[in-house]
């Protein structure tokens, strides 16, 4: 039996979880997309806060500990919401992979050029 594509499987599993929760991200109206983009963005902000709280960021406080296990959990929580966000706008795992490749290439070109000037058109192909 062939091993499934990992990213494709993650997208499949997220769709199953969303449907179990009662969220169907297929065929959304613009209003519904807006609602879910905001929901997932807010959830990701909260997960980022939880990630930040997993490391000793308060330079004035000595009680804090680095919690690498929780850092890992928060990163995965972010993935859950990020994948749902991609699905909200109809992106598949292949769409994300292809867009990542294009944007990665753009980022390398920016570094090669010194990235001294923001080019608002260089990401239009993503």
Domain that holds residue 117: 92-126
List pLDDT tens digits, range 11-69. 999 999 999 999 999 999 999 999 999 999 999 999 999 999 999 999 999 999 999 99
CA distance 65 to 77: 21
CA distance 66 to 23: 35
74 in the same domain as 26:
yes
Is pLDDT at 1 greater than 80 in this prediction?
no
Helix extents (H) in the chain: 6-21, 30-52, 68-88, 93-112
74 in the same domain as 16:
yes
Q: What is the number of structural domains in the chain? A: 2
Please check whether residue 1 lies inside any domain of the structure: no
42 in the same domain as 16:
yes
The lowest-confidence range among 85-94, 99-108, 117-126 is 117-126
């Amino acid at each position: 039996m062939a091993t499934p594509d990992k990213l494709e499987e993650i997208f499949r599993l997220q769709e199953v979880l969303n449907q179990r929760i009662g969220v169907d991200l297929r065929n959304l109206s613009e209003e519904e997309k807006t609602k879910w983009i905001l929901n997932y963005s807010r959830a990701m902000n909260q997960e980022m806060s939880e990630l930040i709280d997993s490391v000793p960021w308060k330079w004035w406080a000595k009680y804090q500990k680095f919690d690498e296990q929780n850092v890992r959990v928060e990163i995965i929580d972010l993935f859950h919401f990020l994948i749902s966000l991609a699905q909200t706008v109809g992106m598949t795992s292949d769409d994300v992979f292809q867009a990542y490749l294009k944007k990665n290439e753009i980022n390398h070109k920016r570094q090669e050029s010194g990235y001294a000037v923001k080019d608002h058109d260089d990401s239009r192909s993503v």
